[in-house]
A and B are shown apart, each in its own frame.
Chain A
Amino acid sequence: MKKILVSTILILLSAGTAFCDTAAPAPSDTPAAAVAAPAPKVDTGDTSWVLISAALVMLMTPGLAFFYGGLVRRKNMLSVLMQCLMILCLISLQWVLFGYSLSFGPDHRSLIGGLDWSFLKNVGLAPNADYAPTIPHQLFMMFQMMFAVITPALILGAFAERMKFSAFCVFMLLWATVVYDPVAHWVWGVGGFIRNWGALDFAGGTVVHINAGMTALAAAIVLGRRQGYPNGISPPHNLPFAVLGAALLWFGWFGFNAGSALGAGGLAVSAFTATHIAAATAGIAWATLDWLKHKKPTTLGLITGMVAGLVAITPASGFVTPMGAIWIGIGAGVIPWFAVTHFKNLLGYDDTLDAFGVHGVGGIWGAIATGIFATKTVNPAGADGLLYGNPALLWIQVKAVIITVVYSFVVGIVLLKAVDIVMKLRVTEHEERVGLDLTQHREAAYTIID
């Protein structure tokens, strides 16, 4: 373990200096751009809302832990909680050391941020006019940190119950650095090439959900199926935990989407409404399909639909009307439902908790739907979509989806294979049978006798 730590640190350091070399000669262009705009001033209302939103999004990671944890078998409950909370610690640190700078720092060739903001250099309490002119720059950094944390946590649903904890930590750190940070820069960073195309992603349809979903599919394929899959796997060990987790996700999602307005105004309210409506619609749609197909509506179906609706509305939330949100919600109930109940069985991959089916497929639908339902009447800073006479936006959205899908899937596979060669991704067959709680953490979630 020590060896791994040392080599990881060395790799990161050498990568860091490489970036520094290229970063040094290029002068930052932010001050020049800020001259024309009025001097940014902190607004207390906006700051309050984004502070609360950052805390709401933070709560989503423990929420996700219980959503996922309830769905695994008893012997793996702690491993899922542990993995989610470890990511919270690990990526928070990665983010302040260099992740934030790679994502949002001064642009290099439209591909990556420079290291000018590493160790939070130049990330102070004065606003940054490019990203959020009315809140402290450091608050924008913290808000974005919570997104960088939950995105890799979403992936673990695909390989739950069989990944070695040490390999997990190394993979997640690499993935955040090599996949999340660049993609966040392309879509959200000033100068990023997808942002320059005019692609719309209000709160992370491409950056968060497609990105996590595609690497999830890669992980399900590279790690292979669990022993006994599909017929010898016990059902979810604690559905009430999954319901609790889904409810916390919904609650936290108000911060995720409405917080992405980066201010306490009309746009935040509009995103809040769209988020809620889409989740409600998708929950009904999924439960209805369950009802028609399996004769009974299931709790698991309802909460999965809710989450799929939240996923799909994420990129669109700041650009669509409440009626647009209903249509996106219906699509989010129907399309991921087919992915989870038909597509997965057809192809035979073992995506343990449907991270690809819900986040990948739901995210792709949401990003494309943004190109259909977006309207400037909701957000003048956005664009009109297909239904409002601008088919060009739909094409831009599709291009953004394709780039993200390919990059996340391919680089995901490469990183997984690389970690596998160095330290093996998967636990032994015996450890898998005994469960990850005992073999990876020497703890049990539940006792048998009080």
Chain B
Amino acid sequence: MKYIIAVIQPDRLDEVLKRLTEKEIHLVTVSNVVGRGRQKGIAEVYRGHKEQGSLLRKVQIEIAVNEAFVEPAIKAIIDGARTGQIGDGKIFVLDLPECIRIRTGEKGNEAIG
């Protein structure tokens, strides 16, 4: 099991969700975040809006997946979020030791899907 965290441009969210759905990945958590990347938050690019000092507005997507879905998920996120400009974001893939569905008590691979 892997835990995928992607930080993307807010305006790419709809497209990323669409691509994920096409790969049958429906379970995601989405939040508004602010942060800074390699450009150190300096809003030179037109899209980067300078606000709250040096922090830029982004959207964070979190997805827990079984091994078979890791590559499709990464591909969906890249296809949906990539524009080729600075600030497209990053994807982090973490090992996920455990996952439990609260309602049934199921654990591991069964609990993820």
Contacts and interface: CB of A to CB of B under 8 A. Distances in A.
Contacts of A449: 34, 52, 55
A448 B49 contact: no
B10 A434 contact: yes
Interface in A409-450: 430, 433-435, 438, 442, 444, 447-449
Contacts of B32: 448
**Residue of B11, B12, B34, B55 contacting most chain A CB atoms (<10 Å):** B11
B57 interface: yes
Contacts of B14: 227-228, 232, 433
Given A448-B33, A448-B57, A434 B47 contact: yes
Interface string B7-39: 000111010000000000000000011100000
B interface, size bucket: 10 to 19
Interface residues of A, number: 14
A438 B49 contact: yes
Contacts of A434: 10-11, 47
A444 B11 contact: no
Interface in B31-59: 32-34, 47, 49, 51-52, 55, 57
A447 B11 CA distance: 17
Contact of B51 (A227, A228, A433, A444): A444
B49 A444 contact: yes
A444 B55 CA distance: 13
A447 B72 CA distance: 34
Contacts of B47: 434
Interface in A65-84: 75
Interface in A115-171: none
Contacts of A438: 49
Nearest to A437: B49
Nearest to A429: B11
Contacts of B49: 438, 442, 444
A438 B33 CA distance: 17
A442 B49 CA distance: 7
Contact of B11 (A232, A433, A448): A433
A261 to B, nearest CB: 49
Nearest to B18: A232
B64 to A, nearest CB: 24
B49 to A, nearest CB: 5
Contacts of A227: 14
Contacts of A433: 11-12, 14
Given A232-B14, A434-B10, A438-B49, 18 more contacts: A228-B14, A430-B11, A433-B11, A433-B12, A433-B14, A434-B11, A434-B47, A444-B57, A447-B51, A447-B52, A448-B32, A448-B33, A448-B34, A448-B52, A448-B57, A449-B34, A449-B52, A449-B55
Interface of A: 75, 227-228, 232, 430, 433-435, 438, 442, 444, 447-449
Give 3 closest A-B pairs by Cβ, nearest first: A433-B11, A434-B11, A438-B49
